[in-house]
Amino acid sequence: MEGSHVTTDVTTLTKAAAERANWKLAHSWADNLSLEFAGVDLADCMEYNVLSVLGGIALDYLEKGVIADGQQSGT
């Protein structure tokens, strides 16, 4: 995928910023994507899953020092 091969300076990313980004992403990744069945938006049903896996990735990098722990997270 593609499309996001930006130069990454991840050490400037703080824990709180990563968390805000994960939250935003969990609510926006399926925008304009139809994941509906039986009248239910499956993307909303998956919110917990997506937040968990994004949080897990960020946490892994946090513990490896890739993400800076320079700011208290809110959650």
Partner 1 sequence: MGNNPAPERPILLVSGGATTTPLWEQLAETHDLVFLYPQAAQQAAALGLPSAALGALWDADLQERVANIAVVLAARVVNHLPAVSERVADAYAGSPPPNLNGAFGEWFPGYAHSALSGPLAILAQLEKLASTGRHIAGCVTHEDVAPDTRTLVNWCNARGIPTIHVPHAPCHLLPGVVDIHRETRATWIAASGPAMADFYAEAGHDPAKITLTGGPLFDGLYGARPDRAEARAVLDRDLPAFAGPVLCYMTTWGQTTSTRSDFEREFAAGWEATLATAKALGAYLMVLVHWHDGRAGIEEKYDAAMVVAGVQGLVTRNHKLYVLAAADLLIAQGPSNMTIDAAIVGVPSVYLSTEGFDFRTQLPHRCQPSELAGVVTHALASQEDWDGFVAEYNVTHGARGGATENVVAMVRQLCQ
Q: How far apart are CA 58 and CA 63, in angstroms?
A: 9
Rounded to a whole number of angstroms, the minimum distance from the CB of residue 53 to partner 1 is: 6
Q: How far apart are CA 36 and CA 44, in angstroms?
A: 10
71 binds partner 1 per the rule CB under 8 A? no
- Identify residues 32-61 at the interface with partner 1 (CB under 8 A): 32-35, 37-42, 44-59, 61
How many CB atoms are closer than 10 A to CB 22? 20
Site residues (CB under 8 A) for partner 1?
A: 1-6, 8-10, 12-13, 15, 17-25, 28-35, 37-42, 44-59, 61-63, 66-67, 69, 72-75
